[in-house]
Amino acid sequence: MSDIPSDLRYAASHEWARLEADGSVSVGISDHAQQALGDVVYVELPEVGQHLQAGQQAGVVESVKAASDIYAPVSGEVIAINETLADAPELVNSAPYGSWFFRLQPSDPAELDRLLAADAYKASCDAEA
Amino acid sequence: MGQRTPLYDQHLALGAKMVDFGGWDMPLHYGSQVEEHHQVRRDCGVFDVSHMTVVDVAGSQAQAYLQRLLANDVARLAQVGKALYSAMLNERGGVVDDLIVYLTQEGYRLVVNASTRDKDLAWLQAQTAGFDVRINERADLAMLAIQGPQARARIMDIVTQVRAALIQELKPFHGLAAGDWFIGRTGYTGEDGLEIMLPAEQAPDFFSELVGAGISPIGLGARDTLRLEAGLNLYGQDMNEDISPLAANMGWTIAWEPVERDFIGRSALQAQREHNEQPRLVGLVLEERGVLRAHQVVRVNGIGEGEITSGSFSPTLGKSIALARVPANTGERAEVEIRNKWYPVRVVKPTFVRHGKVLV
């Protein structure tokens, strides 16, 4: 069973998105995703200043098992990346919702509403099984 | 549903993520394979290896039979308890399996791979023709491996006095019977430790005792990264029936002397040694971020190409390592293609860690 916080939105590709107080969007990967990946050993992040479209490849999570692409859940400019993950990739496993990969300044706030709410994401994970 | 060892329910109770391995439902990890790996290098851990195949060989011509069957020479086992690692070849000089053979009171004991069980048993049986020998698969036995610098000490505290005394005296790469248990000072991790074969019905209680005493259960994920760091081959990945032992870092296991010993595959192997330029199995270290994986292409400037046979992230080194089959005259540098980009790698001897020490 995986943890799916109800205050976040989710992409079907297993990224979570959190709208911050300042209007930016933090992005990470879900508990379901980190369980499926196994121990994370490297994280490849986008570059600050990069413009991403929703659904565009934004980075890579490399685990002992496989390399998996991460996709931008919404469009926007990358305004911050989480350097801590370079030295402590295992945080993605131990704290998936506390380990943000990058933060976007969204170009279209309506895109957030098109992401899955917690129950819809749970349904899509169950359907995958 | 695959085959299950006697410890299946306990693995589930311990929170194991189960996977299929060679038709068996086995624990991949119990939470974190990287943590389990570190645990073995620093302290000790216990592996359920009951899926492996144990075969006893007995009869007046058991030695002659094995001298024909195996590329290493069992005549080198001078006293009961000694063991050796050997390839079993086909007539083309390809590897049918790799195994450990012990000289026992009753004859010999072979431990072969889980994934090759059916093939090996058929092969072993077929080769008995003309020899006074019987092979007997010991499906009644379970097997636990306890590996790590503290392994022997921890086990000695738990088992009976008689078994503790045996373990105290047991030399590396030796195995002896203690009642209905068989205790080998062998392993697949590059650490000191024991492999204990015991009646299947005793395995659940013993495993419980070990876990209860604080010995961490270790899954197949860590088993693979540990053996890779130790430079130990995995049959089916690093070699198979179409690969010569000379191309699998197993040349040292071939007993060429005495010349009169005509083991299966000898003449093919001799021809390879004399005429072919066999490729070599080497170690690779990726200094940058990324993970080397099986089947990635290796390019050696000015010489040719090869392929990674096994690759993973090495928790002890903190970087990725691999075993790769490359042209024989490969030097110290090469490149590997990972997701359409080429990365430089160091070419090293295929042993990265031994007894906790990094060698590369």
Which chain A residues in 61-80 lie under 8 Å from chain B, judged by CB atoms? 62, 64, 67
Picking from B17, B37, B291 by the largest number of A CB atoms within 10 A of its own CB, the best residue to mutate is B291
pLDDT of B42 above 80: yes
Size of the A and B interface in Cβ pairs below 8 Å: 32
CATH number, domain A9-124, options 1.10.1740.10, 1.10.580.10, 2.60.40.3080, 2.40.50.100: 2.40.50.100
Nearest residue, CB atoms, A38 vs list B33, B290, B339: B33
Residue A128 pLDDT: 84
Nearest residue, CB atoms, B291 vs list A62, A90, A93: A62
Burial B295-316 (b: 16+ CB within 10 A, else e): ebebebeeeeebebbbbbbbbb
Extents of the domains making up chain A? 9-124
Residue for token pair 């030295």: A87
Does residue B88 contact residue B135 with C-beta atoms inside 8 Å? no
Residue A2 pLDDT: 87
Does residue B165 contact residue B156 with C-beta atoms inside 8 Å? no
| Cα separation, B80 vs B193, whole angstroms | 20
Residue A129 pLDDT: 72
Picking from A32, A34, A37, A39 by the largest number of B CB atoms within 10 A of its own CB, the best residue to mutate is A39
Which residues, in sequence order, are bridge partners of residue B120? none
Label residue B277 by pLDDT band (50, 70, 90): confident
DSSP 8-state secondary structure symbol assigned to residue B82: B
The CA-to-CA distance between both ends of chain A, in Å, stands at 11
For residue range B326-339, what is the model confidence (pLDDT) as tens digits? 999 999 999 999 98
| Set of chain B residues whose Cβ sits within 8 Å of the Cβ of A41 | 34, 291, 313
Give the mean model confidence (pLDDT) for residues A64-68. Answer: 93
ipTM above 0.85, yes or no: yes
Which chain A residues in 11-30 lie under 8 Å from chain B, judged by CB atoms? none
B118 φ, ψ (degrees, to nearest 5):
-60, -45
| Set of chain A residues whose Cβ sits within 8 Å of the Cβ of B339 | 67
| Cα separation, B169 vs A115, whole angstroms | 65
| Set of chain B residues whose Cβ sits within 8 Å of the Cβ of A93 | 32
